[in-house]
Structure 1
């Protein structure tokens, strides 16, 4: 049996709040996500879902425990090694698209590839292909300000998948959209994930969307349980 794409083992994280108060956010989290599996993460506000996503994405380090991507333990590794793993294996999507305003849609999807050493010709070709898959190919030469909210988020999905990651981490990816657009954009995201076969951990407050994923996990009081 192959290693899970994401494995968290005994992950703990606390923050100091004032001089004498400590808040335990994650209290020994164990989680495995296989290739092709989409897992929903639901949590009350302030429960630590963003912290969990940041640790899973190698943007933050746990106080204890291990984070492994595709069988490689990356906890305690150098910043350079962790950065390399992020670029190679992990795609991120946030509630707000965070597209670069001075670049058009195709350039926003090509830039991560160029940073990873892909030629401009190859990067542009993959960007065009991804934009076509999500239905915004005809908007490739438009800057973010000229795109609708749903179009901007679709471009952000393409950017997250530009380097063909193994793991997708999304924090409220449709939370900034109206309900109709949210459903449409979520369908696009699910289609992309299914098509590419990557592992996905998607945080959402929308229980209807969560139930459409393979598993739903609830983070509360520092623990992770099936929901």
Structure 2
């Protein structure tokens, strides 16, 4: 049985397709992520990192190519099927945490679990466990405005992992943090992922953080190359 968790094959994505001014962002990108592997995605701004992540996470569809998750081909599935797979199997982390300001840290982590059919008691227990693993066990009842930037991003990490996804996709997850906080927060993320069998694709400009991952790929002229 294959241990490939995420497989992108021949991914093509263009905007204004067939019109003057067409922009070709991805020109046949290929990527394979094994179970438990953490891969850094590096590229200059505007090269298409976010587009690639959105396609990998079933938020967008390619013009050509296939996306497989756990061996299942998902490119041609209905929006409903893709949404269900995304909710259960994919976790997203962005540069800005996007926490819900009116809810506490625990509640922010609990809500996606409730949407996935988990009981209130089990969801709360999972949220508290995740917060403890990133050193925020005493901050669970604080709203985002009462947390530092690094604390907010750690809560966002916990929220992304709340439903135990098979694939984690992160778009510059420490990009708005100072170097010291960035290092601390990245360490917390790696600890959360370690030992779960989850695959992670993490876009970053920080080459020191990229070097701490299992391997590195670069997006160049719309295709992925190994660094």
| TM-score bracket for the superposition, by shorter chain length | over 0.9
Q: Give the length in aligned residue pairs.
A: 227
Cα distance between partner residues in 2 of 1:27 and 1:44: 16
Q: Show the counterpart of 1:193.
A: 193
4+ residue segments displaced more than 3 Å: none
Q: Show the counterpart of 1:165.
A: 165
Cα deviation for residue 18 of structure 1 reads 10
Q: Secondary structure at the match of 2:96?
A: coil
Cα deviation for residue 22 of structure 1 reads 1.0
Pairing 1:113–2:113 present:
yes
Q: Show the counterpart of 1:58.
A: 58
Of residues 133-142 and 10-19 in structure 1, the stretch that sits farther from structure 2 once superposed is: 10-19
Cα distance between partner residues in 2 of 1:131 and 1:77: 35
Q: Show the counterpart of 2:12.
A: 12
Alignment of 1:53-132 (within 5 A): 53-132=53-132
Q: Secondary structure at the match of 2:23?
A: strand
Q: Show the counterpart of 2:202.
A: 202
Cα distance between partner residues in 2 of 1:216 and 1:46: 18
Cα deviation for residue 30 of structure 1 reads 1.1
Cα deviation for residue 29 of structure 1 reads 1.1
Q: TM-score, normalised on structure 2?
A: 0.98
Q: Show the counterpart of 1:140.
A: 140
Deviation by residue 1:63-122 (Cα, 9 ceiling, x = unmatched) = 001001111110011111000000110000000000000000000000000000000000
Q: Show the counterpart of 1:23.
A: 23
Cα distance between partner residues in 2 of 1:195 and 1:100: 29
Q: Show the counterpart of 1:45.
A: 45
Cα distance between partner residues in 2 of 1:196 and 1:150: 23
- CA RMSD in angstroms comes to 1.2
| Structure 2 residue ranges without an equivalent (≥5) | none
Cα deviation for residue 197 of structure 1 reads 2.3
Deviation by residue 1:171-227 (Cα, 9 ceiling, x = unmatched) = 000001000000000011111111322000000000111011011000011111011
